[in-house]
A and B are shown apart, each in its own frame.
Chain A
Amino acid sequence: MAMVRLEQVSKRYGSVAALSAVDLSVDKGEFVTLLGPSGSGKTTLLNLIAGMVAASSGKVFIRDRDVTDVPPSQRDLGMVFQNYALMPHMTVFENIAFPLRVRKMPSAEVRAKVEDVLRLVQLPDVAQRKPRELSGGQQQRISIARCLVYNPSLILMDEPLGALDRKLRDQMQLEIKRLHGQLGITVLYVTHDQEEAMVLSDRICLMNQGRIEQLGKPAELYFHPATPFVATFLGESNLLDVTLVTAEPAAVVRGPGGCAIRSEKQVSMAVDASLRMLVRPEHLRPLAQSESACNEVSGIVSNVIFIGGITCYFVQLPDGTVITSRRLTEGAGPPAAIGSPIRLGWSAANTVLFPAGT
């Protein structure tokens, strides 16, 4: 069953469209991330589901109930805020008990539920403390506990880890993933951090300029991006301008320097059409003298950067474009010197083609 479903939802502020005709559906137990740059409409979408902003057109359903005109308090949602939004004048216990008291639960039951959920977020001993006595990570655990305790249909998380430092953020990601797996909760999560989206999500909804650019499993978005925007937003990418040589059964294009590049997919365009081609840096493999690959380009090593486990090679092609190859670092010292010629190869499966101008 869809816990939340959006039908053609739009939001305009004056003449500016913050969201244009968005359709989205999140199933029970699913973890969906709204990912995108700032201003892409992901927070607007979240606030629209929460009922904090009204849709200009379209409908919002929660558990198949039309809630488009229902106030936030009647939507049976939970929300985790970036700034935690814990009540500073209440103890941790009172904070977590708040939604239960709203629901008029008897106090013995309240106490038991709060204790349970505090154990769940691994903070069993902080019930009598004030939020300000806890660290940022602990406060965010409490704010998650406050959502879990009343078991809402859907939990909205608005960049919940944005205020934490890197190490803590990594820990909290795993913590949220654990809670999601253990409890089967449905989560709609907003972030601008692609790595965070990859770690957490069952599906990623990548947004750009008020539209859904692509919606799918993280691996789908990574390996089969629908547009160059998706390709560049998720992970590193090399984008090249190419022209179509053969459209079917598998497209072949002419790349920089005239080399033929093969893909595994057909393209429904006329020969000589302009295309853009993506190949991920980690798929570009430096070739030895004797080696050959399905697709090859050759150029000059213009820079080598060592980043611990990974080494980046910047290679200048004959037409001037620079492409990047990322390899696992093996042994000490760079195997290719700056200024030396190099051949890079990749398989047809790793060639992704887009129509030009997208």
Chain B
Amino acid sequence: MATAAMGRPGSKGDLPILLAPVTALLVLVFFVPLSFVLFYSVYDNGLTAKAFVSLAKSTLFLRVLGTSFDIALSATAVSLLLGYPIALHLARQPPRRRALLMILVLLPFWTSILVKSFAFYIILGNQGIINQALRWVFGEAAAVKLLFNRVGVIVGMSHYLIPFVVFPALASLLAQNPDLRRAAQIMGAGPVRIFLRITLPLSMPGVIAGGLMSMVISLGVFVTPTLLGGKADMMMANLIDFYTRDTLDWNTAAAIAVILLALSGILIAMLSWVRRDDGVA
């Protein structure tokens, strides 16, 4: 389809030329380094699978793997709970207003994740806005620890993930025939029943797609747990960083990267499976 749209004269012949620059770039900055990673994961003075074997036995790795999934799942759940109502609201706006509000949803992307993480210090820190307010209202003992622990990580990650959840859910909601809701209304159904029996089930492909996307992104997160999390919130990317820079054990670091890649690959495969099924709704 893309070729047909690209231009009538000699359309097919143009394609390799047009795609050459981006292909070259991807080979250079993506394919080559990735090949090195794959190679290092099975090479340490000769071909070996020892990194994978020792990782399978490593309590540190297994605990980090568990923590990664734990954080990714919690952050995804929080993002879905907060993002779905946004999508629902957006779906019910007239198109112009919706376009405007969608820009607001995307607004967090205008700032780097690093800056945003430091901004959370001001909000969540011991002397942050929330704790100052709590102290002012309830006294000194009311302060809660919101930073350098799981709470900080989940808040920071959800903030980043919500747009990734909102848009697929919104797409699923907008794809619904509005006559379905009208039909249900005329048949006597109230708003709660219409939501639970029609709107929600029909938006599930979008919710699942958004959830899987959010899982893929969460598993590879590095900055947020580093800046907002505590010692117990180490994730896969942080462990890779630890092996690469602190112990210089590139073999193990590469092996973890390969495992992370495989996990993301599985999630993305599930995502495309959900997308293909999407046509049903």
Report Cα–Cα, A234/B201, bound state, in Å: 46
B174-192 at interface with A (beta carbon < 8 Å): 177, 179-180, 182-190
Contacting A72 at CB < 8 Å: which of B177, B185, B201?
B185
Interface size on A, residues (CB 8 A): 26
A308 at the interface (CB under 8 A from B): no
Instruction: Point out the residues of chain B lying under 8 angstroms from A79, CB to CB.
Output: 182-183, 186
A89: nearest chain-B partner, CB-CB: B201
A137 at the interface (CB under 8 A from B): no
Instruction: Point out the residues of chain A lying under 8 angstroms from B190, CB to CB.
Output: 73
B281 at the interface (CB under 8 A from A): yes
B145 at the interface (CB under 8 A from A): no
A62-100 at interface with B (beta carbon < 8 Å): 71-79, 81, 83, 85, 87-89, 98-99
Report Cα–Cα, A79/B179, bound state, in Å: 10
B91 at the interface (CB under 8 A from A): no
B189 and A52 form a contact (CB under 8 A):
no
B126 to chain A minimum Cβ distance, whole angstroms, is 49
A89 and B281 form a contact (CB under 8 A):
yes
B47 to chain A minimum Cβ distance, whole angstroms, is 51
Contacting A89 at CB < 8 Å: which of B184, B188, B202?
B202
A103 at the interface (CB under 8 A from B): yes
Residue of A50, A72, A132 with highest tally of chain B CB at under 10 A: A72
A76: nearest chain-B partner, CB-CB: B188
B188 to chain A minimum Cβ distance, whole angstroms, is 4
B198 at the interface (CB under 8 A from A): yes
A35 to chain B minimum Cβ distance, whole angstroms, is 22
Contacting A150 at CB < 8 Å: which of B182, B187, B197?
B187
A102 at the interface (CB under 8 A from B): yes
Instruction: Point out the residues of chain A lying under 8 angstroms from B184, CB to CB.
Output: 87, 98
Contacting B180 at CB < 8 Å: which of A52, A85, A99, A150?
A85
B135 at the interface (CB under 8 A from A): no
Report Cα–Cα, A88/B179, bound state, in Å: 12
Report Cα–Cα, A89/B177, bound state, in Å: 12
A99 and B188 form a contact (CB under 8 A):
yes
B115 at the interface (CB under 8 A from A): no
Report Cα–Cα, A77/B183, bound state, in Å: 10
A192 at the interface (CB under 8 A from B): no
Instruction: Point out the residues of chain A lying under 8 angstroms from B177, CB to CB.
Output: 83, 85
Contacting A88 at CB < 8 Å: which of B183, B189, B193, B280?
B280
B193 and A50 form a contact (CB under 8 A):
no
Report Cα–Cα, A132/B277, bound state, in Å: 14
A87-B198, A88-B202 known; A73-B179 Cβ under 8 A: no
A191 to chain B minimum Cβ distance, whole angstroms, is 17
Report Cα–Cα, A215/B179, bound state, in Å: 29
Report Cα–Cα, A102/B196, bound state, in Å: 13
Report Cα–Cα, A150/B190, bound state, in Å: 16
A352 to chain B minimum Cβ distance, whole angstroms, is 40
Report Cα–Cα, A179/B44, bound state, in Å: 80
B186 and A78 form a contact (CB under 8 A):
yes
Instruction: Point out the residues of chain B lying under 8 angstroms from A73, CB to CB.
Output: 185-190
Residue of B180, B188, B189 with highest tally of chain A CB at under 10 A: B188
Report Cα–Cα, A132/B190, bound state, in Å: 26
Report Cα–Cα, A72/B188, bound state, in Å: 7
B178 to chain A minimum Cβ distance, whole angstroms, is 9
A134 to chain B minimum Cβ distance, whole angstroms, is 15
Report Cα–Cα, A6/B2, bound state, in Å: 54
B187 to chain A minimum Cβ distance, whole angstroms, is 4
B179 and A72 form a contact (CB under 8 A):
no
B191: nearest chain-A partner, CB-CB: A73
A211 at the interface (CB under 8 A from B): no
B28 to chain A minimum Cβ distance, whole angstroms, is 46
B216 to chain A minimum Cβ distance, whole angstroms, is 26
Residue of B182, B198, B201 with highest tally of chain A CB at under 10 A: B182
A85-B177, A88-B202, A89-B201 known; A102-B186 Cβ under 8 A: no
A326 at the interface (CB under 8 A from B): no
Over the window 225-269 of chain A, the binary record of Cβ atoms lying under 8 Å from chain B Cβ atoms (1 yes, 0 no) is 000000000000000000000000000000000000000000000
A52-B182, A72-B182, A87-B180 known; A78-B280 Cβ under 8 A: no
A52: nearest chain-B partner, CB-CB: B182
Instruction: Point out the residues of chain B lying under 8 angstroms from A85, CB to CB.
Output: 177, 179-180, 182-183
A156: nearest chain-B partner, CB-CB: B186
Report Cα–Cα, A75/B49, bound state, in Å: 71
A85-B182, A88-B280, A88-B281 known; A99-B202 Cβ under 8 A: no
B192 to chain A minimum Cβ distance, whole angstroms, is 11
A146 at the interface (CB under 8 A from B): yes
Instruction: Point out the residues of chain A lying under 8 angstroms from B202, CB to CB.
Output: 88-89
Contacting B186 at CB < 8 Å: which of A77, A88, A89, A132?
A77
Closest 9 A/B residue pairs (Cβ): A99-B187, A85-B183, A85-B179, A102-B188, A72-B185, A79-B186, A81-B179, A73-B188, A73-B185
Contacts beyond the supplied A132-B280, A156-B186: 13 A-B pairs with Cβ under 8 Å = A51-B186, A73-B189, A74-B188, A78-B186, A79-B182, A79-B186, A83-B177, A87-B198, A98-B184, A102-B187, A102-B193, A146-B187, A150-B187
* Residues of chain A at the chain B interface (Cβ within 8 Å): 50-52, 71-79, 81, 83, 85, 87-89, 98-99, 102-103, 132, 146, 150, 156
A–B complex contacts, Cβ < 8 Å, 13 sampled: A50-B182, A50-B186, A79-B186, A81-B182, A85-B177, A85-B179, A85-B180, A85-B182, A87-B180, A88-B202, A102-B189, A132-B280, A150-B187
